[in-house]
Chains A and B, each alone.
Chain A
Amino acid sequence: GAVVSQHPSRVICKSGTSVKIECRSLDFQATTMFWYRQFPKQSLMLMATSNEGSKATYEQGVEKDKFLINHASLTLSTLTVTSAHPEDSSFYICSAWGLAGETQYFGPGTRLLVL
């Protein structure tokens, strides 16, 4: 199946700094990617839909100025957590639909810890 990668897998940062997470589709082009957030022992919460060449679509309650999304190419979307605070600590997962459009493939996730 299609492969989606994320980098970094883990990141620890100080409160107030910004952190960038990359999501790449390795063997296919993805015009649309999704960013999810998962708190411990909870389900995935969709944060935003990342569209190549246009602005991301954010879910209700997600601050677009805090979670900046850039989908600059057909294989790369980035999520930047700006001015991170401890409450932003979470597991962030990206995904993309495969070529046939019937299966959504997920990255391995990025664990963010804000001190």
Chain B
Amino acid sequence: AQSVTQLGSHVSVSEGALVLLRCNYSSSVPPYLFWYVQYPNQGLQLLLKYTSAATLVKGINGFEAEFKKSETSFHLTKPSAHMSDAAEYFCAVTGGSSGDKLTFGTGTRLAVRP
């Protein structure tokens, strides 16, 4: 079984500041890990994914995440926040097999202050 924990349901940063959204996972098998972003009243858009290749994964919009097995973490970062980054972010895990269902974290709402 897999699960993810997102620490901090709300994160607020100033425009231009570092964004750090935390995700820790639990999995009985080598995991695939994902970060998705959701804007109001919209579906989910894939930001990036880890599928057992490089541990530092770069995604869209300047986001990246690092898979750390020893810490069971997959934190999402962006060096400089933009106002347009304000959204809900979800970390998700699956068991590494094609077709497996995703298990989502509870989400982190990112606010960006001018």
Contacts and interface: CB of A to CB of B under 8 A. Distances in A.
Contacts of A102: 32, 49, 51, 98
Say which size band chain B's interface belongs to.
20 to 34
Contacts of A106: 36, 43-45
Given A42-B106, A44-B104, A103 B41 contact: no
Contacts of A91: 41
Main secondary structure on A side of the interface with B: strand
A43 B107 contact: yes
Interface stretch (A11-19, A67-75, A107-115): A107-115
Nearest to B97: A101
A104 B34 contact: yes
Contacts, number: 54
How many chain A residues sit at the interface, stated as a range, is 20 to 34
B89 to A, nearest CB: 11
Contact of A97 (B51, B90, B98): B98
Interface of A: 1, 4, 6, 31-32, 34, 41-44, 46, 49, 91, 93, 95, 97, 101-109, 111
Interface of B: 32, 34, 36, 41-46, 49, 51, 90, 94, 98-99, 101-107, 109
30 contacts: A1-B46, A4-B43, A31-B99, A32-B99, A34-B102, A41-B109, A42-B106, A42-B107, A43-B90, A43-B104, A43-B107, A44-B104, A46-B102, A46-B103, A91-B41, A93-B44, A95-B44, A97-B98, A101-B98, A102-B49, A102-B51, A102-B98, A104-B102, A106-B43, A106-B45, A107-B43, A108-B43, A109-B41, A109-B43, A111-B41
